[in-house]
Structure formats: C-alpha cells, structure tokens
Structure 1
Amino acid sequence: MKVRSWLSTCSSTTCIATSGGGATTPSTRRFHSNTSSEIQSSSSSSSQGTSSSSLNSNLSLLTLPSVPSLQKLSPENLNLSVETHFLTNLQHRRPVYINFMAVNNNLLYAASGDEINVFEIINNTLVDTFNGDKVSSGSVKSIAFCDGKIFTAHQDCKIRVWKLTIHKKHKLIATLPTLEDRFRKFILPQNYVKVRRHKKKLWIEHHDTVSGLAVYENSVSSISWDKSLKIWRASDFRCTESITAHDDSINAVIVSNDGIIYTGSADKRIKVWRTAPLPEKKEKKFHLIATLEKHKSAVNALALNSAGNILFSGSCDRSILVWEREDSANYMVVIGALRGHSRAILCLISVNDFLFSGSADQTVRIWQRRIDGLYCCLTVLDGHQKPVRSLAAAAMTAEGGDCGGAVKIFSGSFDGEIKVWQVEVSGAISPLS
C-alpha cells in the first residue's frame, strides 16, 4: 500500500495542516480555569480562512459534581465559567484518576481507577458508582454501549457486561469470555495459543490488559496490550474472531460507520481491518487492508469525523496526523499534521467540523478544518493540573428538542477531576461522530 504525506511547518502554539495552498496564521485563544480576570486573545485571526461555522459565543467550564455559584468571564466574545470541586471528595478511599469517559442516554460514565462513576449530565449529579466491590479487576480502561448493555474493559484481562436497572443502578450480567464459551473450547488442543514460554491460553481469552472497546451494529471489538484484536457478538457474548494485530501493545480502536476497524499501537502503526467472505463459507472474517506508518512513536488515540472519511491519530510524538480516504480505506493519505501540544496526545474526539484533543501537557485544544481546507487551533483550554486522559461529548438539547448548536465536552485527567466545557457554534451541529 502506498502512502504519501504532506506535513506543514507550525509554530509552538498553533498549527495549520493542508494538502495544498499557502499557509495562514489562524486565530488561537487560550483560557484558564483558575483565573477571575479577563483573558485576552493570544493571537490575531487570519482574513483568508474564516470558517462558516466557527466558534461563536460561549465556552463555559464546570467541574463535576456541580457547585451552585458560577464566576462569569468574558474574553472577547467567549465566556468562561468556572466551578471548583474535585472528584476525590466523593466516596473514594484512595486517590483517583480518570481513565476513560463515555456518554449514553444523558449519563456520563467516568472510569476512575477500578470504579465507574455515573453522572446525570443535565444537572451534573452522581447517580451511581459500580464495580466498587471488584477491586481485583484492576483499572477500568474503556466503556462501550451495545444492544442496550454496557461493556467495560478491565486490567485483569476481562470484559464485563452490565445492565442498567430502572432505578439507574448497574447490575453485572456477564464476564467475557463466558464460562459457556470456555467450556466449548477447552477440550480441543487447537483452541489454545502460546502466550509465553510454557504457558498457553484459549484463543478467546485476552492475556493482558484490555485497553479499548469499539462497537459496530451487534458486535464489540476489543483490543489489548497482548497485541490482539477480538470480535464479540453482543447478543450471546460469544467471541467470534481473534487476530494478532500488532507487534506491540494496542492502545486505541475505532470503527467507522461502514464497519471498518482502525487500531493504533505502541509499534507506531495504525492498521485498517475490513470483513471479507471466506471461500466456500457464509461467514465473514476480518483481514488487513492497510498499514499506516507515519508516526515516530506510539499511537495513543484515534478519532473519525462524522462522515467516516477522515481519520485523526494522536501519538507520543506530540502530533495529530490527519488521514483522508481517497477512494477507499485501502488507500489513505496524510493531508496534514496538527502541532501545538507540547507533550504526548492522549485522547481525541471529533464533533462535526471540530476536533478536540487532550494531552499530557494538561490542556485541551479545539481544532477546525475551514472551508479552504486549512486546519487551525481555535482555542486552548487550560484547566487541569495533570495530563488530560479522556474526552467525551454530548449535544445539548433545549426545549423543543433543538440542540441549538451547543455541545458539552467533558475532559477528565489524572488529577481526578472532570471538567465540562460548553461550546456554542454558529449553525446547528450534526450528530456526534
């Protein structure tokens, strides 16, 4: 597979990436959550690349759980509101850190150590904490939702499945692989794979931390530090396929709306997987269709735009590469690199034309591709005291069901704090990607 690249030269505070045309100097704003004075814009905007859906009005910051009083700030045409409260003040017996966050049905699921805290996102209240009695499961690394169930990935090599009750409590209903699935496989020797010297495991088992989950239709894809990718049926919890996908730990996985799986690894590569029918069989299996090699260090995070034709990848090399499909996922090209973070990229999330990135430099950046094809950093959000590990998003609905072009962005970090940034843009926002 051929991959051609175009990387722009960027300053330390902002970046433009493009597949053609001249460079411009975009607008970059920086906001701090720990100040009460007005914060001015850090650079001037360009007249060449003004977007039709740029940031328009409010940026507000909250910290879960909510505190009644808010302090209003008004830098230029953007407002910043701050609440100060730490998640460590909740029912925790030890220091906490945010591993992963996800939003489902107006609930924010925040994996904090070996526990999962569930918040109502409308009023920022804690409604449930589960997995607290299973300390031996280790840290929760990922959360996914499929077929009305909640799937969680754990450090003890297991995937657990939960059901939400009518009282907004979570009940454990399965642990993957299930005993039934193990029983089907344990007799035959060909169902075992060598995981290290003098030790074998069933091919349906992960033998290291399950680091990520992704959902497509009725299937769940899991990745692990054991270098494997596994596919699970959500209906009966059966493992249908296992692939040795990389040469090192797999850190990120995402599935496009047409079922193509992207995996990012510590081996510096991104691999692209798609199903194809087996000869003389009705079933389909995943096979490798492309390997993307442009990062200089481990790939930590992946995100797709809503159309599924642009892939963003964040790495320890401090860059975010932008990959675009030309004709199919078999052929993807680098159309730019977003630089500005001073340390490793740890998380990415795409919302319509906006990309949000969290980094070990303790900041969140908002990027946008303009109508002229250029990427720019619109805003730098300074609020956390430790690396930003996870991001999640939820569209805000007003009376009548209209989101009004507003979105909530949740950022969680190793300081055990979750901040909620309210972003309003001109025009309506399409469904979250």
Structure 2
Amino acid sequence: MTSYDQPSSSNEEIFAENNNASTSLHSRCVATLKSPNSYTSSLVLAGKFLFTGSSDKEIRMWKRHQNPTDDDDDVVVAGKGAVKSLVVSADKIFSAHQDNKIRVWKINNNQNSGTQNLAHLATLPILSDRAIKYLRPKNHVQIRRHKTSTWVHHVDAVSALALSRDESLLYSVSWDRTLKIWSTADFKCIQSIENAHDDAINALAASRDGQVYTGSADKKIKVWGKPHGDDEKKHSLVATLEKHNSGINALAVDMNGSVLYSGSCDGSVLVWEKDCGGRAVAALRGHEKAVLCLGVVADLVCSGSADKTIRIWRQRCYSCVAVLAGHDGPVKCLTAASDCHNEGDQTSSYLLYSGGLDGDTKVWEIFVLPRK
C-alpha cells in the first residue's frame, strides 16, 4: 500500500545560502510518498499529475497536491522488473522496462470526475514491425555467439527514453549498447545504431537543436545528430566527449540546449558548453558517492546521489546553493518544475520530486529569494 505522508522530522527542512551568489535559497520537504515493497525508479510530470515507475513493474499516477487520498492514484502493472524511464508526449506516456520492452499508454481524461487513468496502447516493437523485419535475413543482427535478433528489438534492459523537440521521434537506449529511434506516430522503429558504445548505455538526453546525447559505463558521452532540414538522413555520430574517469549514470540538457550536464560513478557532475567548443568547462564536486540522476529547472541544476542527498547548483556560477537530506537510501531519480513566480518581490518557487531506494518519493518546495 502506498501512502502520502507529511515529513515528521526537522532534518528534512533545509536552509542553504551561498554568500558568493546574488540570491539565497530556502527549501523544505512538504510530503513523502511511501512504497514499502518497492522503490521509485522513474518519475515524470504531466500537467496536474505525477507519474511514478517502480522497481516492481508498477506505473502509478498521483495528483500534484500535498494531501491526496488513497483514491487519488491509478495503477497499472506491466512487464517484469523495474520501470526504468518515463516520458510524456501529449496524451501518451512511453515507459521503458527492464524486460527489454517499451510500452505506450494513453492518458484518458474523465471530464465528469476530473480524474485520469492509463490504458495500454502498444508494446514496442509492435507486432507488424517484428514480423516484417523477421522475414528478411538482412534485418537480423547477432547479439551473442549463437543467437540473433531483428534490429528493432532491444535485447537487454531499456535504460532511458527521450523525445525530440517536436515529439515526432522517441529515442531509447539500452544495456545492449544500442541507440534506437522510433516514430511516435506509428510506433515503428526507424533506426538502430548497433554498438553505439563499448559498454551498457545508462543515460540519454535530447537537445532542442536536434542533437542526442548518450552516456555509458564505458566513461564516454557520444553526440548524435543528422543534417538540419534533411529528414531522410539517418542519425550518425557527431562527437565523442571524454573527460569522465568512471561510468556515466545521468545526463541533462539546459532549456536552451547550450549546456550539457553529466553525472558519473565518481560523484562528479561535469559541465559541457557548446559555446566553448563542446569542452568540459567545470566539474561540480561535493557528492560523496555516485551521481545517479540529474534535472534542470530554470537556472538550477539538481543532482541526486547514492550518498542519499540531493544537491542544487546554480548554473553559470556553478556553485552549490543547497543540500537536501531526507532520504534514507540512494536517490535514484528526480524531476522538477516551476511552481510560481511573484513579479513583485522577484521570488521564484519550484517543486522538486525525488525517488530513493528507501522506498520514498519526496516532494520538495524550493524558494529562490533575491538578496538585499
């Protein structure tokens, strides 16, 4: 049974201020979703709802307010193992699963009750795609010494998903070392880049300019793209970014698509700027263990770590302005969104959602205040 509890201890309320910055930041945990039998492995926001994917194959929908009742949520169960990633496109949700599949869900709105529920639309690769590719030997690729599969299949856990800016393309990466591109219109796989990395691919991010970033246990970030205005061309390798000393677990791109953030097993977050030729211009250090997830909202960068903390960093000055402590296990996933903005006093407010291996999903309020 999943419950939604208010924080009971003061150690979940944090005030952090950076004396070198032009603003101060207040933050506090306002609520906790508890899942005693599993942990939240993925998160995504869609309008007034929060969708969570669990380590036990559940996708759960919650209303985004502080005191929902047990009747506020809707649950679907699919596949085997963890729901590794969730993305939203209009009235659809795409979910990546540990059973090597991608599933598509329709968000149905009930106008009378004001509620929503999820209905299964498809499982990728779809049957027609599999059948057509299976009949032609040239569509088969060798995945192990004595085993082949068609190139539309992921053959290991699908670790991350991302959407193109116009949401016409879905990108997926897997521990099978492939990057696949899908059409969101008909759910067909239109390209598969085999051996995109030398080891499992753990992270994925898509930029507004059409470039796609993949991060791997091989310590490399690869940049993929195709010529502008040429929809017929396939994605190909644009660049390889090498600076990390350990495997990469998380990637995030800022709203302008000009800055890439990458988190790795050594606890560091590297900052890559396009204006500087795609070089790493800063290393954000402070986490004591691996960085497992990243998120960007406005000019803040949030990093969740195996050290059980979330750090909030200022963009451009790249300083840590808050450390959120409250999880009793590694922070596996997070997402953030603007809450409101008061033009009168220039106070910005954000909501941050974090999922930990302790079985808790926490809701944090973050207030950025101008210094006097």
The aligned counterpart of 2:279 is 333
Whether 1:61 aligns to 2:29 is: yes
Given candidates 211, 225, 235, the residue that maps to 1:260 is 211
Higher relative contact order (CA 8 A, sep 6+): 1
8 Å contact 2:31–2:66 — kept in the other structure? Answer: no
8 Å contact 2:106–2:118 — kept in the other structure? Answer: yes
Task: Give the distance between the partners of 2:322 and 2:124, measured in 1 at CA.
Answer: 41
The aligned counterpart of 2:120 is 172
- Shift in alpha-carbon separation, 1:39–1:178, aligned structure 2, 3 A: closer
Instruction: State the Cα distance separating 1:149 from its structure 2 match.
Output: 0.9
8 Å contact 1:34–1:383 — kept in the other structure? Answer: no
SS at match of 1:276: coil
Aligned residues: percent identity? 43
The residue type paired with residue 146 of structure 2 is H
Instruction: State the Cα distance separating 1:366 from its structure 2 match.
Output: 0.8
- Shift in alpha-carbon separation, 1:128–1:38, aligned structure 2, 3 A: closer
The aligned counterpart of 1:354 is 300
The aligned counterpart of 2:232 is 283
The aligned counterpart of 1:34 is 9
Structure 2 unaligned runs (5+)?
1-6, 111-115
Instruction: State the Cα distance separating 1:425 from its structure 2 match.
Output: 1.8
C-alpha distance after superposition, 1:204-225 (max 9, x if no partner) = 0000000000001211000000
Task: Give the distance between the partners of 2:335 and 2:267, measured in 1 at CA.
Answer: 20
Displacement over 2 Å in runs of 4+: 32-41, 62-65, 122-132, 397-400
Task: Give the distance between the partners of 1:249 and 1:219, measured in 2 at CA.
Answer: 22
Given candidates 158, 179, 203, the residue that maps to 1:229 is 179
Whether 1:376 aligns to 2:344 is: no
Report the more deviating stretch, 108-117 or 378-387: 108-117
The aligned counterpart of 1:273 is 224
The aligned counterpart of 1:240 is 190
Given candidates 194, 207, 213, the residue that maps to 2:155 is 207
- Alignment RMSD, CA only? 2.5
TM (normalized to structure 2)?
0.88
Given candidates 301, 309, 315, the residue that maps to 2:258 is 309
Instruction: State the Cα distance separating 1:166 from its structure 2 match.
Output: 1.9
Given candidates 112, 137, 144, the residue that maps to 1:196 is 144
Task: Give the distance between the partners of 1:129 and 1:109, measured in 2 at CA.
Answer: 10
Instruction: State the Cα distance separating 1:320 from its structure 2 match.
Output: 0.5
The residue type paired with residue 175 of structure 1 is T
- Shift in alpha-carbon separation, 1:290–1:396, aligned structure 2, 3 A: same
The aligned counterpart of 1:77 is none
Task: Give the distance between the partners of 1:414 and 1:59, measured in 2 at CA.
Answer: 22
- Shift in alpha-carbon separation, 1:183–1:147, aligned structure 2, 3 A: farther
The aligned counterpart of 2:41 is 99
8 Å contact 1:102–1:109 — kept in the other structure? Answer: yes
- Shift in alpha-carbon separation, 1:283–1:310, aligned structure 2, 3 A: same
The residue type paired with residue 352 of structure 2 is I
- Shift in alpha-carbon separation, 1:358–1:186, aligned structure 2, 3 A: same
Structure showing the higher strand proportion among its residues: 2
C-alpha distance after superposition, 1:80-113 (max 9, x if no partner) = xxxxxx332xxxxxx2111111111121111112
C-alpha distance after superposition, 1:48-84 (max 9, x if no partner) = x433xx234x42212334xxxxxxxxxxxxxxxxxxx
Given candidates 50, 53, 60, the residue that maps to 2:21 is 50
Given candidates 109, 112, 116, the residue that maps to 2:54 is 112
Instruction: State the Cα distance separating 1:185 from its structure 2 match.
Output: 1.2
C-alpha distance after superposition, 1:266-319 (max 9, x if no partner) = 0000000011389xx961210111100111111000111111111110000111
SS at match of 1:184: helix
Whether 1:418 aligns to 2:367 is: no
